[in-house]
Amino acid sequence: MDNKPKIAFFQCQWCLYAPEDQEWVDSRLPENIHLIKVPCTGRIDPLFVLNAVQGGADGVVISGCLPEKCHFKEGNLAARRQLDSFSSFLDYIGYDQERVHFVWLDLQDRGRIQRELADFESQISRLGPAESLATRVPLKEGGAND
């Protein structure tokens, strides 16, 4: 697991229509993938992504509903535009744009999230670790840093 890329996975709580997919994400996600479930992709502040990057994520996946199926109307379109711009900014400061991946899921996309995560992990493995922006000192086990 140590040599596997660390991936932050932001998932809209509505986007996985198949209960098996949600169950897989909730309980069988590989250890190198850190799940952050959100009520809508429209609620993902770019600072959340920056926090993941500074915390050492080698890649970031954002999965949400198709724009026309977002529970909050155009919430995810606005998020997509904002996060696209933000990933360009991250690219500018050294975090390759290929490290941020969007997945928009529909009713018939049963099993797709597993394939998307596996493909993305392979892509990030090819790119190698993204260490340059991992600036935050991880907390010591069992308490705050001195």
Distance CA(89)–CA(96), nearest Å, equals: 10
Report the candidate in 118, 24, 112, 27 with the shortest Cα–Cα distance to residue 64.
112
Comparing CB distances to ligand FES, the nearer of 52 and 65 is 65
Q: Which residues, 85 to 144, sit near ligand FES by CB under 6 A?
A: none
Cα 138 to Cα 146: distance, rounded to the nearest angstrom: 12
Binding to ligand FES by CB under 6 A, coded x per residue (else -) over 8-27, reads ----x-xx------------
Residue closer to ligand FES by CB (options 41, 87) is: 41
50 to 89: interface string for ligand FES, x by CB under 6 A: --------------xx----xxx--xx-------------
Among 10, 42, 113, 116, binds ligand FES (CB under 6 A): 42
How far is 61 from 25, CA to CA, in rounded Å?
13
Task: Report the side by side order of strands in the sheet with 33-38.
Answer: 33-38, 7-12, 59-65, 100-105
Binding site for ligand FES (CB under 6 A): 12, 14-15, 40-42, 64-65, 70-72, 75-76
